[in-house]
A and B are shown apart, each in its own frame.
Chain A
Amino acid sequence: MKKLIALLLFMTLVFPVAAMAEKPVLMMATTTSTDNTGLLDVLKPAFESDTGIDLRWTAVGTGKALAMGKNCDVDVLLVHAPASEKKFVEEGYGTDRTQLMYNDFVIVGPVADPAKVKGMSVSDALKTIAGSATPFCSRGDNSGTHKKELSLWKASGMPVPEKDAWYIQTGQGMLPTINMASEKNAYTMTDRGTFIKYAASHNGNPPMVVLVEGDGVLFNQYSAMAVNTKNCPQAKYDLAMKFIDWMAAPGTQKLIGDFKLMGKQLFTPNAGK
């Protein structure tokens, strides 16, 4: 029995160490949208064969990703909240912020469109929803998407709803939030990638549809940043820069543009533009 326990202990201690390759490891914090859509699963093997670097990521909300960068737990960030990113760089936590690609946000709602917002501009749509007190689901989790939504309420000249009964703060990821909106017959704002994925899971005939899109304010920019070695001396800056340069290279940009889900392009590359 003692031998068995000793053996188990030994194996569990040694196994993960033995499994670690000699390849250099680049640790990244990124947002759920890049992971959930499967984009990173396509990019990882290409990056590894081009540079020999083992890319590992943890997919969290932008708020948590930035906190991990601040605490020196990762080497590079791939996030989508430009205002917070700029602040992050100004405060000396990140460097070399490089824009890589974008997708756009859309406002989705039930097929019946109870508040009749189809085709409106973002600010008109939000005013109509608030005015008629039609349920609206918000992420409420300080993620990039949530921050974007808050900025849209402000840009529409309204106080950000908080305790209003029709304003539902889910505190969950994007897909659970869309599902909740669907159950509650509510509107919500989502990135297009996640919505395509949601529509795909309903065989292209979802109970929620895109109602507001194409407005310039719905632009969703993704950028990469290296963690600042002044703040984190152990951060692998050279590996992080290799990743950022590789992401911005024409070959990778094409790979991003060609990435499709249900025949639809999810991200538009725009490095250097």
Chain B
Amino acid sequence: MGFIFEGFSTALQLLLDGHPETWSAVAATVCVSSLSICVTVLLGAPLGFLLGYCRFPGRRAMRLCVDTLLSFPTVVIGLMVYGFISRSGPLGGFGLLFTLQGIALGQVLLGMPIVIAMVANAVENADDRLQMTLLTLGASGRQQLHATLWEVRYHLMLASVAAYGRIVSEVGISMMVGGNIKWHTRTITTAIALETGKGEFAMGVALGLVLLLIAFGVNIAVSGLKRRAAR
């Protein structure tokens, strides 16, 4: 029990003393999660729009699939990505295994269903008159996409925040694809797993708090954006 409180003071120490290993893990985490969330939103938002806006056969089945993928275990995503980018796998030539880009690939797969499902849901529930208005005004497909996504911008933000939360806190993909290599692919979550495995529980709690601080910073930035968008 005592290690929990010890963790709080250790967290402060790690950050203030400039503990190089912690900062290296912080840099890796920020780097890889930013890359992942950008790609996830850029790809996921249009796909979510298509799924929510267009009517085509098999759409309900596809929505069901996307909703099911929300429960994809991260270790299995890690295993699948590993299978593809291992030197003996089909994408082995790119040398993505044990790199941050490789981790990002897995995290995009993790975050994508969240963004697609939430955006599709928001688009479906958006005001019906919106689509009519856009059509009568003669909007092109691209314009419809932009206008609708703008209408559901808060939902898009919420989707991004939810996806970011899952991406930044996952450990299965980072461990399997990144390999937890010190100074290179050790993220905060794999460092937590390692420290816990070594029995350094206070250190694990401390690193967890550091991760929460990062998420806090990101959410402050997002709420700032939200206020600006509301004006």
A residues engaging B (CB < 8 A)?
A: 5, 8-9, 11-13, 15-16, 27, 32, 36, 41, 56-59, 70-73, 172-173, 175-176, 179, 197-198, 201, 232, 234
Least distance between A42 CB and chain B CB atoms (Å): 13
A71 CB contacts on chain B under 8 angstroms: 86-89
17 extra interchain contacts, Cβ-Cβ under 8 A, other than A12-B100, A32-B197, A57-B181?
Answer: A5-B38, A8-B38, A9-B35, A12-B32, A15-B31, A16-B31, A36-B198, A56-B184, A58-B179, A71-B87, A72-B86, A72-B88, A73-B87, A73-B88, A179-B199, A197-B199, A232-B88
B101 CB contacts on chain A under 8 angstroms: 13, 16
A11 CB contacts on chain B under 8 angstroms: 31
Least distance between A7 CB and chain B CB atoms (Å): 10
Q: Which listed residue (A9, A73, A175) contacts B86, Cβ 8 A?
A: A73
Least distance between A40 CB and chain B CB atoms (Å): 9
Please state if B199 and A58 are interface contacts (CB–CB under 8 Å). no
Least distance between A69 CB and chain B CB atoms (Å): 11
If A16-B31, A71-B86, A73-B86 touch, whether A56 touches B199 (CB-CB below 8 Å) is no
Please state if A56 and B181 are interface contacts (CB–CB under 8 Å). yes
> Would you list which residues of chain B between 132 and 180 have a CB under 8 Å from chain A?
179-180
Tell me the bound Cα distance from A163 to B39 in angstroms: 47
If A56-B98, A175-B197, A201-B199 touch, whether A9 touches B38 (CB-CB below 8 Å) is yes
Interface size class of B (residues with CB under 8 A): 20 to 34
If A12-B31, A27-B98 touch, whether A72 touches B197 (CB-CB below 8 Å) is no
Please state if B32 and A232 are interface contacts (CB–CB under 8 Å). no
Does B92 lie at the interface of the complex (its beta carbon under 8 Å from any beta carbon of A)? yes
Q: Which listed residue (A16, A36, A70) contacts B197, Cβ 8 A?
A: A36
Does B118 lie at the interface of the complex (its beta carbon under 8 Å from any beta carbon of A)? no
Least distance between B178 CB and chain A CB atoms (Å): 8
If A58-B179, A58-B181, A59-B180 touch, whether A16 touches B198 (CB-CB below 8 Å) is no
Does B196 lie at the interface of the complex (its beta carbon under 8 Å from any beta carbon of A)? yes
B92 CB contacts on chain A under 8 angstroms: 72
Best-buried of B31, B42, B92 by chain A (most CB within 10 Å): B31
Tell me the bound Cα distance from A143 to B184 in angstroms: 25
Does B117 lie at the interface of the complex (its beta carbon under 8 Å from any beta carbon of A)? no
Tell me the bound Cα distance from A13 to B96 in angstroms: 12
